[in-house]
Structure 1
Amino acid sequence: MKKGKLMAFMVTLLSIFGIILTASATNNVQTVDAQTKEKYVIATDTTFAPFEFINEAGEMVGIDMDILAAIAENQGFEYEVRALGFNAAVQALESKQVDGVIAGMSITPEREKVFTFSEAYYHSSLSFAVKADSDIQTLDDLKGQRIAVKTGTQGAELAESLREEYDFEIVTFEDSVNMYQEVMVGNSAAAVEDFPVMAYAINDGKLALRQLEETFDIGSYGFATSPGENPDLVAAFNEGLANIQASG
């Protein structure tokens, strides 16, 4: 990864953490009444570090978890997190088995037809990653190659949109761990994932991968709910997000 991209990525993460750490210091704020339920059930992914992942103690942690905790404290509502994996989380929300999803979920026109989103809280992009010692340098080098993607993600949509142009063979996985492993053992030439997620894992020494220079803008992440369901929760999320941003 180029130093400029890494620096911009780290600055973004530090900015987000700065917002979170100062949120609890904000006392004189206007809050939305989100007490329509005793406790909201929020679904999330399980392998999307640094936004959400399970640490060595078995706890669900990450940027999304910190943002949710800060907003809930600011707005005075309780919640329970269910770590389901991205595709299962989306399906649970569609079937109204959970009240919301926060899982690095990009706000897209297609998803806005199905879900109600909060205000955006993070802007992201996609990139392809290959084995660290691979000779592949550009997207053109991936023509006719096998590409690993995660089910239900924008990475999967991107690979599909490029399939005909680059003659991709696409293989899908339910989680990021198996998708990455597919590339590291040489079964697939590349994986597609959100840029900051792969950058975090690679720089943390967890992945023997290397990102290609090309990136693809995918817009912003948002908190999702079912249309017409829990409007107070969406309002509380937006109000809390504005408050912790202002306090930071």
Structure 2
Amino acid sequence: MSKKWLTLLAAILFSLSVILSGCGAKQTSTANLLRVGSDTTYAPFGFQDEKSREYVGFDIDLIKAIGKQLGYEVEIQSMNFDGLIPALEGGTIDVAISDMTITAERSQKVNFSQPYYTAGLSIVAKADNKTITGFKDLEGKRLGVSIGSTGAEEAHKIKDATISEFNSITDAFLELKNGGVDAVINDAPVNEYYVINKGNKDAKIVGEPINSEDLGIATSKKNPELTAKIDNALSELKKNGEYEKIYLKWFGKKPPQ
């Protein structure tokens, strides 16, 4: 082989090594990326800040803290609540965190972390409504819920109720304001945040929460190792005080012991 061909071959091999090393760097970066799906209409768990346009909230801060603990870069993808589990099953996201109740039905499709918050379903009615004082008064009423939620499941149990299922809970609240539904059934912390910050002139909380529901961080059944990592990180955040700090920021009180 001539000297000219040896020089050309060396140049080709060098170019290939650069390309391959670049690919390797890209794969490493992807491996350290945590793709997180969240329905960002569930304030104070996840929502878009009106000024910064950034996604903020308890869930957002918590998953970012977990990502930092694990050495992951966190990428938030906003999507409808009922699309979160299909996205996990399809592999387009790695994690779903969105005020998601741990249920037996959902646990057949995804893995859940240890509970990170305990919520319960409550009712929002119009401020001038005097006929609805609790769940016992919802029979035959027009009810607004978020599609795929436990609030929707509960609403369908109520006799003669007319159920309107919305892609986002904010749409359900808007329908209540406009008089299209008589009440909204949803997780109590989200209802409370809405009434205090958005609908205090138009809406009110009625009755007491009817149940207690544990929220969990969902991951794919194909990735049990990630579930274990998230559990470990969550336990560490509870030990070092970071979880309490985030909880105080969004709920104004310390988490229950």
The Cα offsets for residues 24-55 of structure 1, whole Å up to 9 and x where unpaired, read as xxxxxxxxxxx992312110011100010000
1:121 equivalent in alignment to 2:113: no
Secondary structure (helix, strand or coil) at the match of 2:156 reads helix
In the other structure, the counterpart of 1:54 is 48
Secondary structure (helix, strand or coil) at the match of 1:187 reads coil
2:148 is matched with which residue: 143, 147, 152?
Answer: 152
**Structure with bigger RCO (C-alpha 8 Å, 6+ apart):** 1
In the other structure, the counterpart of 1:86 is 81
2:163 is matched with which residue: 166, 170, 177?
Answer: 170
Flag structure 2 segments of 5+ consecutive residues without an equivalent.
Answer: 1-28, 242-257
Post-superposition offset of 1:98: 1.2
Flag structure 1 segments of 5+ consecutive residues without an equivalent.
Answer: 1-34
Secondary structure (helix, strand or coil) at the match of 2:208 reads strand
Post-superposition offset of 1:141: 3.1
d(CA) in 2 for partners of 1:155, 1:111: 14
d(CA) in 2 for partners of 1:143, 1:119: 35
In the other structure, the counterpart of 1:213 is 207
Q: CA 1:76–1:188 in structure 2 vs 1: closer, same or farther (change >3 Å)?
A: same
Q: Percent identity?
A: 33
Secondary structure (helix, strand or coil) at the match of 1:211 reads strand
Give the conservation status (yes or no) of the 8 Å contact 1:154–1:218.
no
d(CA) in 2 for partners of 1:120, 1:81: 21
Give the letter aligned to residue 204 of structure 1.
N
The Cα offsets for residues 96-149 of structure 1, whole Å up to 9 and x where unpaired, read as 221110101110111111110111100010011110111122333332111111
The RMSD of aligned alpha carbons is 1.8
Secondary structure (helix, strand or coil) at the match of 1:200 reads helix
- Structure 1 residues 192-203: aligned runs within 5 Å: 192-203=185-196
Post-superposition offset of 1:88: 2.0
d(CA) in 2 for partners of 1:161, 1:109: 18
Give the letter aligned to residue 175 of structure 1.
S
1:232 is matched with which residue: 222, 225, 228?
Answer: 225
In the other structure, the counterpart of 1:32 is none
Give the conservation status (yes or no) of the 8 Å contact 2:122–2:209.
yes
**Could you tell which deviates more after superposition, 121-130 or 92-101?**
92-101
Corresponding pairs, count: 211
d(CA) in 2 for partners of 1:117, 1:141: 34
Q: Which has the higher Rg, Structure 1 or Structure 2? A: 2
d(CA) in 2 for partners of 1:173, 1:225: 24
In the other structure, the counterpart of 2:100 is 105
The TM-score with structure 1 as length reference comes to 0.80
